[in-house]
Amino acid sequence: MEQIKKKFELTENAIEVLKRRYLKKNEEGIIIETPEELFTRVAYAIAQIDSLYGKSEKEVYKTREEFFELMTSLKFLPNSPTLMNAGTSLGQLSACFVLPVEDSMEGIFDAVKYAAIIHKSGGGTGFSFSRLRPKGDVVGSTKGVSSGPVSFMSVFDAATEAVKQGGRRRGANMGLLRVDHPDILEFITCKDDLTKFTNFNISVGLTEEFMRSVINDEEYDLVNPRSGKIVKRLKAKEVFDLIVHQAWKNGEPGIVFLDRINAANPTPSLGEIEATNPCGEQPLLPYESCNLGSINLAKMVKGNSVDWELLRDTVWKAVHFLDNVIDANKYPLPIIEKNTKANRKIGLGVMGWADMLIQLRIPYNSKEALSLAEEVMKFILNEGRLASQELAKQRGTFPNYEKSIYYGKMPLRNATITTIAPTGTLSIIAGCSSGIEPLFAICFVRNVMDGTKLIEVNPYFKKEMERLGIWSEALANKIAESGSIQGIKEIPEEIKRIFVTAHEVSPSDHVRMQAAFQRYVDNAVSKTVNLPNQATEEDVREVYLLAYRLGCKGVTVYRDGSRQGQVIQKGKTESPTLQINLKPRKRPEILSGVTRLMKTGCGNLYVTINKDKDGNLFEVFTNIGKAGGCAASQAEAIGRLISLALRSGIEPQEIVKQLKGISCHAPVWSGNGKITSCSDAIAKAIEAELRETKGGSLVNKDEITNNSEAAHYGACPECGSSLSYEEGCVICHSCGFTRCS
């Protein structure tokens, strides 16, 4: 394979992310590929598909150069599996899949097996559990009773935990249940427990009937999917309020408007859409996959206006690229290959939206921004369809075209064209803002490999400050404390209007931006509505209802800090407070417990966890084996402080969240997964003890949160930098770690 020799620029952060996650490595884990070679590999593999459609070798080479330039100019990037796997023996290029879960033991465990295969290949999976009979329902073959969909979700979660996608991409699932399923209340609250469903995002599938019942304060029917019979009626408003409460408490469940999604289903005769991919932006039929890619809008500006000609050229080349990916893909299952090629869905989206607005000097939270959002996305959709029509002339329409809503109206190569997907790591590579989100910070601290900390500054902001003659390193350090410039006197008000961050945009403006893009997106939009910590449940309710009124297909909210320690909300005017008793309990003469062996970079760490007579964690002792010195003294100090906290009434989950993910210079892998430091090992030992403890006062349902590595949204488990919650997922802007992309 001849390498295409062209110069291109990547930021230091982008190069680091490529090294960590994308560049090929040998069996010893040594990088054997440069960024140039990566893009050459991908361009070659994807362009080669043109030869299947009669293109000459010269024409294929031209396409290869176009695709290489498209990526290295950072005007467009395909989804992560394509960058990782194109031109490799694995060759699995799809980001997202939906699998059916049939109401039989065989169907359930087929789905578990298929999900494991997909996760191993680097994809994420979405499931609807709505076909499963409810808990307590009859099982005809055994005359027993069903355990219900929530119990079976645990099987999927455990399988995902076991696979973990080989380290480069983590297993991610979306679990969805219809709001009219009899087990809906159990589903809505299923992520209260710290130890459950750590590899799942969950969403409730809302129907038009349900939403009308909410608005009119009426009851609605719960229907047994096995028999089709109504088994109960609930007050819709009370169910809606429970969803709102849970989302306010810890960000889940999200909501998906199922009827609205199916109204846009391009092939309704083939069946109903029941589920989406893990971040909710890609509704798919059972056994479908989708290939995604994003245009960098930061590159689509010329002077003081949008460069429409460059955008048109980029859209056409990107549609060509993504259509080729469908044929270049090595699918994990034959039925997925069949269904994907029958509809040839692609998902062309955007990133760098906040950067485009900044360059055009348009505030994110303005009517002008909403108007431009519609104009840009309408242009991309229209040009994307024209490009798909041209491919249809050359290669034929998608095989199910005659069964589609487009038949006789618009010949298309692809059943869907546009999706706005998360771009967490892609936006780091491209050096731009994520998706259609506002900036997450103007300046932030980035941890580098040797443990030093660097201040990462938004390049557009730095340029403005230099233009005004007020730039300094001291200013950057000052801004990095909060990420915001709003309280800094020396910065002009006009600059403050333009450089707003996610938490400075009102919830309603977040929703309006999502809705503006959704009007011209075939599939759906991945976006997070950020709420301040002091937001009330009524604020969440207003977001959900506004999203419904404005035509969104779903919505995800995240209240800042809601997974760092549950607050007691006393109303809009009162500050939230933590309920903590700080008086240490006296130690009994006799306690019992367990000692766990944890492997660390400093050697074997023995963690002894003792409990009181009621089964509550009471104290922790550590022994670091032969390491001695500083490591032993620090481990002992941590144990003493943990013991003091436990005896003072601090919930053990809060201690775990503070210690888990802390990094040192010598991480190791063991049977307990990746151990990033001695602190991390102690946290995971406590967590393992919590997981094995059944019932008792260890589980305070109002205080518990998800225990995935990034769930506390504090330090990144891989590099120690701060995590943020964007586009329906946890993202580290420093190293590219993401829980569900």
Q: What is the DSSP string of 147-169?
A: --HHHHHHHHHHHHHHHGGGGTS
* pLDDT number for residue 661: 79
Q: Within a 13 Å sphere around the CA of 292, how many CA atoms are in the beta-carbon half?
A: 32
CA distances to 88, 345, 414 from 399, in Å: 28, 11, 9
Q: Report d(CA 312, CA 384) in Å as an integer.
A: 9
Judged against a pLDDT cut of 90, whether residue 248 lies above it is answered with: yes
pLDDT band at 587 (very low <50, low <70, confident <90, very high): confident
Helix 308-328 and helix 334-343: axis angle, to 10°? Answer: 150
Q: Tokens representing 212?
A: 């009308």
* pLDDT number for residue 703: 30
Q: Is 127 helix (H, G, I), strand (E, B) or coil?
A: strand
* pLDDT number for residue 467: 95
* pLDDT number for residue 391: 98
pLDDT band at 717 (very low <50, low <70, confident <90, very high): low
Judged against a pLDDT cut of 90, whether residue 634 lies above it is answered with: no
CA proximity to 380, closest of 402, 351, 404:
351
pTM over 0.95, yes/no: no
Q: Within a 13 Å sphere around the CA of 603, how many CA atoms are in the beta-carbon half?
A: 13
Amino acid letter, 468: L
Give residue-wise pLDDT tens across range 635-666: 888 988 898 888 877 888 889 888 887 877 66
Query: In whole angstroms, how large is the CA radius of gyration of the chain?
Result: 26
* pLDDT number for residue 6: 60
* Residues contacting 391, CB < 8 A, separation 6+: 319, 320, 323, 413, 414
Average pLDDT over residues 34-38: 96
pLDDT band at 689 (very low <50, low <70, confident <90, very high): confident
Which residue has 């290949």 as its token pair?
Answer: 121
What is the chain's mean pLDDT, rounded? 88
Of all residues in the chain, the percent with pLDDT exceeding 90 is 66
* pLDDT number for residue 566: 31
414 or 666, higher pLDDT: 414
* pLDDT number for residue 519: 98
Cβ(178)–Cβ(194) under 8 Å? Answer: no
pLDDT band at 556 (very low <50, low <70, confident <90, very high): very high
Judged against a pLDDT cut of 80, whether residue 575 lies above it is answered with: no
* pLDDT number for residue 450: 52
* Residues contacting 735, CB < 8 A, separation 6+: 16, 17, 20, 447, 716, 718, 719, 721
* pLDDT number for residue 496: 96
Give residue-wise pLDDT tens across range 518-537: 999 999 999 999 999 899 99
Strand boundaries in 110-158, DSSP class E? 124-128, 138-139, 144-145
> Facing residues of 599 across strands?
604
69 flagged as catalytic? no
Q: How far is CA 387 from the centre of its chain?
A: 29
279 flagged as catalytic? yes
CA proximity to 333, closest of 115, 161, 159, 89:
115
CA proximity to 53, closest of 290, 396, 346, 331:
396
CA proximity to 161, closest of 215, 104, 119, 212:
119
Helix 629-647 and helix 652-659: axis angle, to 10°? Answer: 150
Give residue-wise pLDDT tens across range 351-377: 999 999 999 999 999 999 999 999 999
pLDDT band at 454 (very low <50, low <70, confident <90, very high): confident
Q: Report d(CA 620, CA 191) in Å as an integer.
A: 27
Strand boundaries in 548-616, DSSP class E? 554-559, 592-600, 603-611
Q: Which of 96, 190, 279, 443 is catalytic?
A: 279
Average the pLDDT over each of 157-171, 460-474, 497-511 and give the range with the smallest value. 157-171
Average pLDDT over residues 110-129: 93
Cβ(445)–Cβ(476) under 8 Å? Answer: no
CA proximity to 444, closest of 433, 435, 436:
433
* pLDDT number for residue 709: 35
Q: Which of 13, 277, 329, 339 is catalytic?
A: 277
Give residue-wise pLDDT tens across range 282-325: 999 999 998 999 999 999 999 999 999 999 999 999 999 999 99
Which residue has 């997922």 as its token pair?
Answer: 729
DSSP type of residue 392: H
* Residues contacting 256, CB < 8 A, separation 6+: 176, 203, 204, 205, 206, 276, 280, 283, 553, 554
Q: Which of 16, 252, 274, 281 is catalytic?
A: 281
* Residue 403 burial by Cβ neighbours in a 10 Å radius (0-12, 13-18, 19+): middle
Could you tell me where in the chain the CATH 3.90.1010 domains are found?
A: 592-704
pLDDT band at 35 (very low <50, low <70, confident <90, very high): very high
Q: What is the CATH number of domain 96-276?
A: 3.20.70.20
Amino acid letter, 397: T
Average pLDDT over residues 687-716: 48
* Residues contacting 158, CB < 8 A, separation 6+: none
* pLDDT number for residue 726: 83
Q: Tokens representing 45?
A: 């593999």
Cβ(740)–Cβ(730) under 8 Å? Answer: yes
Average pLDDT over residues 615-638: 79
CA proximity to 552, closest of 471, 641, 436, 472:
436
Q: Tokens representing 452?
A: 């030093």
* Residue 591 burial by Cβ neighbours in a 10 Å radius (0-12, 13-18, 19+): middle
Could you tell me where in the chain the CATH 3.20.70.20 domains are found?
A: 96-276
* Residue 151 burial by Cβ neighbours in a 10 Å radius (0-12, 13-18, 19+): middle
* pLDDT number for residue 625: 64
Cβ(32)–Cβ(24) under 8 Å? Answer: yes
Q: Report d(CA 35, CA 571) in Å as an integer.
A: 52
Judged against a pLDDT cut of 80, whether residue 581 lies above it is answered with: no
CATH class held by domain 592-704: alpha beta
277 flagged as catalytic? yes
